[in-house]
A and B are shown apart, each in its own frame.
Chain A
């Protein structure tokens, strides 16, 4: 049963807009190993959500073109016919979202929204689904699950709503969970609780988790591996400890240096000078070059994602040069 891993290969997500096409994800390849928790990090607009939505087939097909492949175990997730995709969503692949207030239906009770998943996929009747849902609510650490079952989202605090949403997403024990910034809307204490919960689900239930976040602190706390994304491209992959200790791509290093501090919580990562290049242009060379302090002439050539060692890949010329330097915190200090 366990053992499936997610393999994303040359994934591209292109939005068709009136002003031209908009490549939100370009040729992204990465893995989420079985029972592993992988952090997908990047600045705002780097294509993290677009990647997550693509895995569940939640993009609007009339305005979005998806390319490449994403296999989970034996199953190809991309380009599934609608019926097959509906069967898969919620049962094999689940997703949770950033804001637990807007992602829960305000007119339905917590119980309805959790048992709905169970009734769809397991065809249980109302009573049995209710029992299962209350179990799940208890599992995610919701106090008084039977009482909360009858409550509406607005009657719960943010942290409890987030737990309820997680319960709805994992009610049928999906093997892969995409968590899109699940703690951004929460305060620090609750954030830690939710992350611990996700970690527990990963370890105890054998769920593979793709944790989307812009916060490397979160990644350091719970993730096994990191995928760093810039302007729709994967620029660095590796085990969390290695990447955080010794980032090999200047962008990842800068992400770390501009980590939000405890006191200035909602500070986003726009402290890296310069802006993400417009996704509609198709530039050549390293996309980070205009903002990179180590940029050189050679960076104008297109960079490949190069494997340094098993599970360690970087898209930067400096990482493969013999006289490579580390882009540790010292290197990025002004």
Chain B
């Protein structure tokens, strides 16, 4: 393939182009794409099975017993045994997991042990809240992080650049719960500009949504802003010294075209990696931030469920979060391919 020539030493290059794509190559490429897709799909399912099974197993290790939690401390042993049998808790672990997985495959996640609501309806209430919070934080990280990264690189030798870079270094080190508490104290308690807790209900309107979302979004997304800014700045500074930037300038390319088309595009390759990691971290971090702001999302749902050993809920949340992370990573992969033709063709 043509990619082989790019890594070979110059002397070894064939004198003419080796970049012809015959029909056979195209067919081989199609077969490869199919195989890759099958492998990816398999890995996707395997990851979900593994994640949910480990969650299942971990719940068993946690001291305490859902039957006791349901029936109360003073329940008779018979009552406890009854409840266990009812929940299937007396079965071996694998059998329990199997019946859970079978249900989940049909969209039946069971019923919460406490609220008597179906887990599906709980998810329907909570998932949109968490998704919107994660989406807002991600947007914040990208928009502000990219702007700060560009300023930090373009003005690297000037005061503005140094301030931005310093702020980014600091931002990475600040834990989200601490930032959340500070934000609540300053912008909700001392100055009652934003609500301290809760989240808007659907149908409240965009303004109301923003009022509730601003502080938790900042708390959750600040570290991401800093991370994106730092990575992009570093990548840009390196790209600025590249030969193709000098070549572009020699052609008369300048200003925005030079920055966006030539520099930013190349610098965004390592930043996309950061975005993938960032999404994973946001999904995890939402648990803490939702607790700090008492937001009725997946995070608070799972924290309550863990406290109460409400394992059908825990299982479902683990599954959903794993799916979110996997989808996010798949999107990152697609982004990579869109940006870099060398990845596309390898």
Contacts and interface: CB of A to CB of B under 8 A. Distances in A.
Contacts of A102: 242-244
Interface residues of B, number: 36
Interface stretch (B35-43, B65-73, B286-294, B337-345): B337-345
A277 B2 CA distance: 44
A106 B244 contact: yes
A107 B11 CA distance: 24
Given A97-B246, A185-B10, A187-B11, A90 B16 contact: no
Q: Is the interface of B mostly helix, strand, loop or mixed?
A: helix
Interface in A124-183: 143, 148, 151-152, 154-160, 165, 168-169, 171
Given A107-B266, A154-B345, A157-B5, A168 B251 contact: yes
Contacts of A95: 247, 250
Nearest to B250: A95
A105 B269 CA distance: 13
Contacts of B265: 105, 107-108
Task: Bin the interface of chain A by size.
Answer: 35 or more
Nearest to B11: A187
A105 B261 CA distance: 10
A257 interface: no
Contacts of B253: 86, 90, 116, 120
B250 A265 contact: no
Greatest chain A CB density within 10 A among B15, B251, B341 is at B251
Contact of A152 (B13, B242, B248, B342): B342
Given A154-B341, A158-B13, A120 B2 contact: no
B205 interface: no
A159 B5 CA distance: 11
A68 to B, nearest CB: 21
A168 B247 contact: yes
A157 B248 contact: no
A148 B11 CA distance: 22
B78 interface: no
Interface of A: 53, 56, 58, 62, 82, 86-91, 94-97, 99, 101-108, 116-117, 120-121, 143, 148, 151-152, 154-160, 165, 168-169, 171, 185-187, 189-190, 265
Given A107-B340, A156-B19, A265-B11, 5 more contacts: A97-B250, A104-B244, A107-B265, A158-B13, A160-B16
8 contacts: A56-B249, A104-B244, A104-B247, A106-B340, A121-B252, A157-B13, A186-B10, A187-B15
